[in-house]
């Protein structure tokens, strides 16, 4: 029997062929940490063990959770991060350059076939580049930093196949919300979710990143998309060099736990009700609900592609009176591109307030959090109670299209209604 793509990457990292269910130790090609779970937490462990970092060239540190500092506590965490990076001569340090899951591929660090760990739960985002990349906690990260290795139980692969084309105003975020509703928050069962099908073959890289990013919300260990010419162009454009997609494909006779098939054309814009992404359904069910805040941010929902979706809806329109639209682009570089191409001007003209590139309000760490009983529609990945601020706040999750349309209406709205008419 052949091997899936995930099994091939794990086999390469452990040095022999593998079967699902086996526990194997793998050599780590790259370890990525951020300011919250990184130096701040691994430094005391390394000191206690009297151990040094195995290979500083295989480490990337990115500050994104507490940037820019909002108080003395966050400033101290950032200072510690900068000092640790300097003391340990870590060359690949991106300070306030954006959210780790977007900065890592943007700077050419991801290529198909790599075995990568990240100190953050949305690390499966890297699967869009054909990497086996998953999230770990700080103690495990300390173990990786000392040994250059980690263990895992070889996961099975669940194939999720989307055929056809998405309609106007519908995007990868809607695909993921629909899957959360269908499979539940543990439907991924800590296995690999590999996305396939004619829809995926046409999706641009940033939309693929959204699919893999939210494999986390399905409870998968990681998400994965086999590399193709779109992957090769993205890797080359980021300075990651030339890759051969044919090198990293699953075998035709590989075993999949199951294959679930969906038709893209039937999908309507989705909205997840408070307080779980699994509470998703077509926007119709909740359209008309009043909102206080529309939030476009995070690794899930503020990449350049997401900003463009919002701009497409907001062009020539204005945010409704009494509603705040906050936009925190996922990286500084993407902010620059959005500025030069005019996307940023469209957002600002419509009334958006621009925020720093970072995790921001998504996990309640940064600016823009919610007061008691406020209602928000957000392009982020999670809406558990209290995550974005006050415990009684209500957070709805949706695509950048739907968040932008709702900002204009002041109420949760189907973006197709606005997109069908000229402004």
Partner 1 sequence: MTQAGKAWVFGSNIGTDQLAPGLYMKRPIDEMARHCLEDVDPRFAAEVERGDVVVAGRNFGMGSSREQAAQALIHLGISAVLANSYGGIFYRNALNLGLMVLISPDTDKLHAGDRIAVDPERGIVRNLTRDETWACEPLPAHLTDMVRAGGLVPYLERKLAHNKDQSS
Using CB under 8 A, list all residues that contact partner 1: 36-37, 41, 45, 48-49, 65-66, 71, 73-74, 77, 119-121, 123, 135-140, 142-143, 185-186, 190, 216, 219, 221, 276, 278, 363-365, 382, 384-387, 389, 391
Look at residue 158 and give its three-state secondary structure: strand
Task: Provide the minimum distance between the beta carbon of 221 and partner 1 in the complex, in angstroms, as a whole number.
Answer: 5
Task: Provide the minimum distance between the beta carbon of 37 and partner 1 in the complex, in angstroms, as a whole number.
Answer: 6
CB-nearer residue toward partner 1: 20 or 37: 37
Question: H helices of 217-342, where?
Answer: 229-237, 298-301, 304-314, 332-341
- CA dist 117 and 126 (Å) reads 10
Task: Provide the minimum distance between the beta carbon of 350 and partner 1 in the complex, in angstroms, as a whole number.
Answer: 29
Task: Provide the minimum distance between the beta carbon of 363 and partner 1 in the complex, in angstroms, as a whole number.
Answer: 4
β-bridge mates for residue 331, sequence order: 98
Task: Give the CA angle between residues 212, 216, 220 to the nearest 5°.
Answer: 90
Task: Provide the minimum distance between the beta carbon of 73 and partner 1 in the complex, in angstroms, as a whole number.
Answer: 4
247: exposed, middle or buried (Cβ count in 10 Å: 0-12, 13-18, 19+)? exposed
Task: Provide the minimum distance between the beta carbon of 27 and partner 1 in the complex, in angstroms, as a whole number.
Answer: 18
Residues 293, 383 contacting (CB under 8 angstroms): no
CB-nearer residue toward partner 1: 101 or 333: 101
Q: In 3D, which of 71, 39, 63, 36 has the Cα closest to residue 367?
A: 71
- CA dist 145 and 1 (Å) reads 35
Look at residue 395 and give its three-state secondary structure: strand
Task: Provide the minimum distance between the beta carbon of 251 and partner 1 in the complex, in angstroms, as a whole number.
Answer: 26
Task: Provide the minimum distance between the beta carbon of 313 and partner 1 in the complex, in angstroms, as a whole number.
Answer: 29
- CA dist 223 and 244 (Å) reads 20
The count of other CB atoms within 10 Å of the CB of residue 18 is 22
Inter-helix orientation angle 39-49/72-87, to 10°: 50
Residues 316, 345 contacting (CB under 8 angstroms): no
CB-nearer residue toward partner 1: 202 or 391: 391
CB-nearer residue toward partner 1: 71 or 252: 71
* Alpha carbon distances (Å) from 296 to 234, 274, 354: 24, 17, 10
CB-nearer residue toward partner 1: 19 or 153: 153
CB-nearer residue toward partner 1: 66 or 248: 66
CB-nearer residue toward partner 1: 130 or 277: 277
CB-nearer residue toward partner 1: 4 or 221: 221
The count of other CB atoms within 10 Å of the CB of residue 61 is 24
CB-nearer residue toward partner 1: 33 or 313: 33
Residues 81, 39 contacting (CB under 8 angstroms): yes
Task: Provide the minimum distance between the beta carbon of 388 and partner 1 in the complex, in angstroms, as a whole number.
Answer: 8
């Amino acid at each position: 029997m052949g091997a899936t793509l995930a099994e091939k990457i794990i086999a390469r990292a452990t040095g022999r062929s593998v079967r699902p269910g086996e526990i194997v130790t793998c050599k780590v090609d790259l370890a990525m940490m951020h300011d919250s779970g990184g130096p701040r937490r691994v430094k005391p462990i390394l000191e206690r063990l009297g151990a040094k970092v195995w290979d500083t060239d295989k480490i990337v540190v990115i500050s994104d959770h507490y940037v820019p500092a909002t108080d003395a506590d966050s400033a101290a965490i950032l200072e510690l991060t900068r000092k640790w990076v300097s003391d340990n001569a870590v060359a690949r340090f991106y300070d306030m350059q954006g959210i780790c899951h977007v900065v890592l591929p943007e700077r050419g660090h991801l290529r198909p076939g790599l075995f990568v760990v990240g100190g953050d739960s949305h690390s499966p985002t890297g699967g869009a580049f054909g990497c086996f990349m998953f999230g770990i906690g700080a103690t495990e990260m300390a173990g990786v930093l000392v040994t250059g290795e980690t263990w895992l139980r070889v996961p099975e692969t669940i194939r999720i196949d989307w055929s056809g084309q998405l309609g106007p105003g519908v995007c990868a975020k809607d695909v993921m919300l629909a899957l959360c509703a269908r499979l539940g928050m543990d439907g991924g069962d800590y296995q690999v979710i590999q996305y396939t099908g004619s829809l995926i073959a046409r999706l641009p890289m940033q939309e693929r990143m959204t699919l893999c990013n939210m494999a986390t919300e399905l409870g998968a260990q990681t998400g994965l998309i086999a590399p193709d010419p779109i992957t090769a162009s993205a890797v080359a454009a980021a300075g990651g060099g030339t890759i051969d997609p044919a090198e990293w494909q699953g075998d035709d006779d590989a075993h999949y736990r199951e294959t679930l098939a969906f038709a893209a054309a039937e999908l309507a814009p989705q909205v997840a009700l408070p307080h779980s992404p699994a509470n998703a359904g077509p926007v119709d069910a909740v359209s008309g609900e009043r909102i206080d805040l529309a939030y476009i941010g995070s690794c899930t929902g503020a990449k350049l592609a997401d900003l463009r979706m919002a701009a497409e809806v907001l062009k020539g329109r204005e945010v409704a009176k009494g509603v705040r639209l906050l936009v925190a682009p996922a990286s500084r570089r993407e902010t620059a591109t959005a500025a030069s191409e005019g996307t940023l001007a469209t957002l600002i003209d419509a009334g958006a307030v621009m925020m720093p590139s970072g995790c921001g309000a998504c996990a309640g760490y940064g600016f823009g959090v919610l007061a008691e009983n406020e209602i928000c529609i957000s392009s982020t990945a999670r809406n558990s109670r209290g995550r974005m601020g006050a415990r009684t706040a209500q957070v709805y999750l949706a695509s950048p299209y739907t968040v932008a349309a709702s900002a204009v209406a002041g109420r949760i709205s189907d973006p197709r209604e606005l997109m069908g008419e000229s402004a």
